[in-house]
Homo-oligomer: A and B are copies of this chain.
Amino acid sequence: MCGIIGYIGKKSTKDILLDSLELLEYRGYDSAGIALFPDGANEPVVNKVAGRVSRLREVCAGLTDEACAGIGHTRWATHGGVSDENAHPHQNGRVTLVHNGIIENYKELVKEYDLKDKLISETDTEVAAAVLNQLYDGDPEKALRELISLLKGTFAFAVIFADQPGKIYAVRNVSPIVVAMTEHGAMLASDVAALGVHAKEYAFLPEYQVACLSSKGIVVHDEKKHEIPLQLMTIDWDTSRGGKGGYAFYMEKEIHEQPDAIKDTVAPHIVDGKTSFEAEGIPNSFFRENQNIVVIACGTAMHAGLIGQQLFHTLANIHTDVAVASEFTYTNPVIKPGTLVIAVSQSGETVDTIEAIKYAKKKGAKVLSIVNVKGSTISDISDYCIYTHAGPEIAVASTKAYTSQLTVFYLLAIHAARLNGLVSEEESSKFLNELQRVPEVIGQILEKKEFVKKMTSKFLLSENAFMIGRGLDYSLLLEGSLKLKEISYVHSEAYASGELKHGTIALITDGIPVVALVTQSALASKEYSNIREVQSRGASMILITRESLYKDMNIPEDDTFILPEMDDMFMPFPAAVVMQLIAYYTSYTKGFDVDKPRNLAKVVTVE
């Protein structure tokens, strides 16, 4: 999280920084700040405030447009609360810098460098600035290399030295930095979202190498000060998709983009009516029955993996685990030789997932990643990568990236089933037809969005909610529940219906909203028994089911959503969209900033 920007060029540095920070704001919006180095000044001038970039823009209204270099930052707070002091950039002596990541050993550094009385903020970042200032003897590269050898943790720094006007230095470990030469100057940023307006090509800064941006261009040096050529990549996102396109929030727009995102993700992988991953070069041996698969991911992507797990089990008879990335790396998981790790990440920069991939590779696993952003770290360090074609997702709460990830799992599972001879060509073809029907079915849900909006009245006054389901329904509700948590601030918890009785049902009392999802034919009668159990404790029910499984449970029509019919296995798609709309309209009606929920950032680049 946190967004970093740097610019040296002919346009107004202030404007470029502020505009870019707005594009990076989904990475964090606790505070924002910029440092401008006015031509001829002795040091950069810092302006920073707690709150959004819009507030920073007000504060900076009177500032000069002329500067020889500038860096900026939008913050997701880790060390130290949300305040003006803790905002970046941080200055110490000749050093002014912005930082993304976490420095784990900052307290040790405070002692070692005797900084206790020399710090203004509570941040780990200011400690790095102070240490760098002590190390700096006029050679920026040398000082930066010394600094990073002292740090434990993850970081991406953009630094201006007071005696080096017209230059920005950058270095990183794990946390991303991309650089680009535009027609009007050199830029660096945390991700490509901030560069698309200005550049057609960009490059990731290699870890532990030092970049120097100046009016002459971008130079990257390795530890021996040899220049490293940049690996340029094309920005191929359709920039006309940008903006909210008439929707109130990006999230609503992105919910509506799902039919296209799924179509675009399916299309390249059906060749002559059959699944194909030849373009990615993925060997068929990955999908044999004796294979072990471990899906590694965080949050929403991990929830996509839980659906994937059931598909691999049911269709392909391949044993599949799903691991929370942050736990995986540190709990000594048993990785058998030949294990296939499937890593899932929208941004491709999720640091917990990166660490888990590195760990699994050390243990001999092969890594296939499912990623939305081309050229990102995860696609780079994986053996194979399948791209989702969701396009840029701006809202912090993921929608189209999730259903696109699901789509890839459906493609992979039927592919594996066919390779293992567990489905006939005809069955495989029928499956793919049903998958291709998903966009149309989602369209039907979207037509009923006003109905869903009315259903959300139950969540407006309740701090708590529960969601119950079995099998695929349970996995889907984990995601539905997370959506409601992250943008609507309702403490919603999804439970496997059978587990509720083992304790949590104690929390079900008069009027507690409980969402029940019933889409799986074989589990419906058991699920309706569970619904009766919570009803008899006074729960206020919302029932989401399908015509063929509907049972009259004395739940009012307004609180019952009937999903379009699909094969059982595909029901997570329409159900996902209903859950997204529930979360969206709850947040919307409560008057929250749907796209930028409190405390959250889009790309999680700290552990």
Report A89-130 CB contacts with B as 1/0, cut-off 8 Å: 000000000000010110100000000000000000000000
Q: Which residue of B lies closest to A1 (CB)?
A: B501
Of chain B, the residue at the smallest CB distance from A597 is: B506
Answer yes or no: A410 CB below 8 A from chain B CBs: no
Nearest CB to that of A528 among chain B residues? Answer: B104
User: Mask for A533-554, Cβ within 8 A of B = 1, else 0?
Assistant: 1011110000000000001000
Contact flag A529-B79 (CB < 8 Å), given A299-B503, A501-B604, A509-B598 = yes
Bound: A321/B323 CA distance, A: 11
- Which residues on B sit within 8 Å (CB–CB) of A463? 463-464
Contacts of A506 in B (CB 8 A): 485-487, 489, 597-600
Give the number of chain A interface residues (Cβ < 8 Å).
Answer: 83
Residues of B within 8 A of A532 (CB): 78-80
CB-CB under 8 A from A597, the residues of chain B are: 506
Query: Which residues of B have CB within 8 Å of A505?
Result: 599-600
A349 within 8 A of B: no
Cβ contact within 8 Å between A334 and B317: yes
For A152, list chain B residues within 8 Å (CB).
525
A493 in contact (CB, < 8 A): yes
Given contacts A331-B313, A474-B327, contact A104 B501 (CB under 8 A): no
Q: Residue-by-residue, is A72-91 near B (CB-CB < 8 Å gives 1, otherwise 0)?
A: 00000111111000000000
Task: Give A398-440 as 1s and 0s: 1 = Cβ < 8 Å from B's Cβ atoms.
Answer: 0000000000000000000000000000000000000000000
Residues of B within 8 A of A314 (CB): 331-332
Is the CB of A523 closer than 8 A to any CB of chain B?
Answer: yes
| Interface membership of A281, Cβ < 8 A | no
Nearest B residue to A297, CB-CB: B502
Contact with B along A582-607 (1 / 0, CB 8 A): 00000000000000011111001011
* CB < 8 Å neighbour of A504 from B482, B503, B533: B482
A325 part of interface (Cβ distance < 8 Å): yes
Q: How many angstroms from the CA of A487 to the CA of B314 in the assembled complex? A: 38
Question: Are A300 and B102 in contact (CB-based, < 8 A)?
Answer: no
Contacts of A77 in B (CB 8 A): 533, 536-537
Which residues of B lie under 8 Å from residue A533 when comparing CB positions? 77-78
Q: In whole angstroms, what is the CA distance A504 to B538 when docked?
A: 27
| Complex: chain B residue closest to A493, CB-CB | B493
Output the least CB separation between A325 and chain B (Å).
7
A12 proximal to B (CB < 8 A): no
Which B residues lie within 8 Å of A578 (CB)? none
Chain B's nearest CB lies how many Å from the CB of A515? 15
Closest-CB distance, A388 to chain B (whole angstroms): 18
Whether the Cβ atoms of B102 and A529 lie closer than 8 Å is yes
C-alpha gap A318/B606 in the complex (Å): 31
Closest to A487 in B: B506
Partner of A498, one of B325, B464, B486, B525: B325
A317-B334, A319-B336, A334-B317 known; A81-B535 Cβ under 8 A = yes
**Does any Cβ of B come within 8 Å of A443's Cβ?**
no
Q: Which of B105, B474, B485, B607 contacts A503 (CB 8 A)?
A: B485
Q: Are the C-beta atoms of A310 and B331 separated by less than 8 Å?
A: yes
Contact of A269 with B by CB under 8 A: no
In the complex, which of the residues B336, B502, B508, B535 contacts A604, with contact meaning CB atoms closer than 8 Å? B502
Q: Is A496 an interface residue (CB 8 A)?
A: yes
Contact A326-B499, Cβ < 8 Å, known A78-B536, A529-B102: yes
Contacts of A508 in B (CB 8 A): 599
Taking CB atoms, residues of chain B closer than 8 Å to A324 are 496, 498-499
Q: What B residues does A300 contact at CB under 8 A?
A: 502-503
Report yes or no: A313 in contact with B334, Cβ–Cβ below 8 A: yes
B334 touches A470 (CB 8 A): no
Instruction: Give complex CA distance A486, B506 in Å.
Output: 5
Q: Does A375 contact B (CB under 8 A)?
A: no
**Given A302-B499, A491-B507, 15 extra CB contacts under 8 A:** A81-B536, A107-B551, A298-B498, A310-B331, A318-B334, A320-B334, A326-B496, A327-B470, A330-B522, A485-B504, A485-B507, A489-B506, A506-B599, A526-B607, A537-B598
